[in-house]
Amino acid sequence: MNLENSASPDNYSHIASFVESLEGWMTPAQGARLFGAARTCPSPGRIVEIGSFRGKSTVVLASAARPGVEIFAIDPHAGNDRGPEEWDGFADQASEDHECFLANLAGGGVADRVRHLRAFSDAAHADVPDPINVLYVDGAHSFGPARADLRDWGSRVAPGGTMLIHDSFSSVGVTLAILRELLPGRRWRYVARSGSLTEYRADLANSPVARLRNAGIQAAQLPYFVKNLVIKVLLSGSMSRRLLERVSQAAGRPTPPWPY
């Protein structure tokens, strides 16, 4: 490994071990993708994150951002839609999330780079100026609010800008929102994904062939979605989980983790 490169601020690996020590649902490959997207944000420019939890992804975005790039992190820390199967009623944990978020930003040396908006994303529009260059969506996961994030915040991303979506082709609500808003759309080009973290660019060519191809690539992610759903269903029940453990063991494989 080229140590000089890996220690460079251009490279995710210079913060990877700190980020991996933080609680959250982001794989190292997803961290590297987020880092790369934030690093290419033009300066002056603007990065917006929806759904920060304890700051794991926020630290990545802020560490990658060049001087002159503003970073907004939107999270109400209200105890709803907190994580996998944690839809509502986590107010106590959420106030702890807020404290951890502040401590983790300080620990990552990025507290002064990030402006936290403690609000639901639909109530935060007026606090963020246009244009947005990089948008990371990892807030509400049910269809209505997820769709509103992709549509209303996505429309504020500058031409050529980037939108990254966590739990795409994994969460039912987020996937339906993508199928409704992005798959048939004229704006967002599917670039690639790392696990459930999908990257889109606002530069889809204005031709039927390009649109058809773009829809086809997204439709091709549906088998991955079905696989994730089956794993989630099996992991959710105690008997089905035991069955999955036994089958995995018989196949000489580890039991699949909760997909994200």
Ligand X SMILES: C[S@@+](CC[C@H](N)C(=O)[O-])C[C@H]1O[C@@H](n2cnc3c(N)ncnc32)[C@H](O)[C@@H]1O
Query: Residue 184 CB, nearest distance to ligand X (Å)?
Result: 24
Least distance (Å) from ligand X to the CB of residue 23? 7
CB-nearer residue toward ligand X: 143 or 217: 143
- Complex with ligand X: residue 50 or 163, whichever CB lies closer: 50
- When the beta carbons of 75 and 181 are compared against ligand X, the nearer one is 75
Closest contact distance (angstroms) between CB of 115 and ligand X is 14
CB-based burial of residue 110 (10 Å sphere; 0-12 exposed, 13-18 middle, 19+ buried)?
buried
Task: Give me the least distance between CB of 248 and ligand X, in Å please.
Answer: 25
Residues that bind ligand X (CB under 6 A): 24-26, 50-54, 56-57, 74-77, 80-83, 97, 120-121, 138-140, 145
Strands (E), 80-238: 114-117, 132-137, 157-165, 189-194, 197-201
DSSP 256: P
Residue whose Cβ sits closest to ligand X: 24
Q: What are phi and psi of 111, to 5 degrees?
A: -55, -35
Quick one: 26 or 244, whose CB is closer to ligand X? 26
Looking at the Cβ atoms of 52 and 214, the one nearer to ligand X is 52
Pairing of strands 189-194, 197-201: antiparallel
- DSSP reduced 3-state for 72: strand
Give me the phi and psi of 172, to 5 degrees please: -65, -50
CA angle, 20 then 29 then 142, to 5°: 90
CB of 190 to ligand X, least distance (A): 21
Question: Between 95 and 240, whose beta carbon lies closer to ligand X?
Answer: 95
The helix (run of H) or strand (run of E) holding residue 49 is strand 45-50
CB of 6 to ligand X, least distance (A): 22
Looking only at the bridges linking them, the beta strands covering 157-165 and 132-137 are parallel
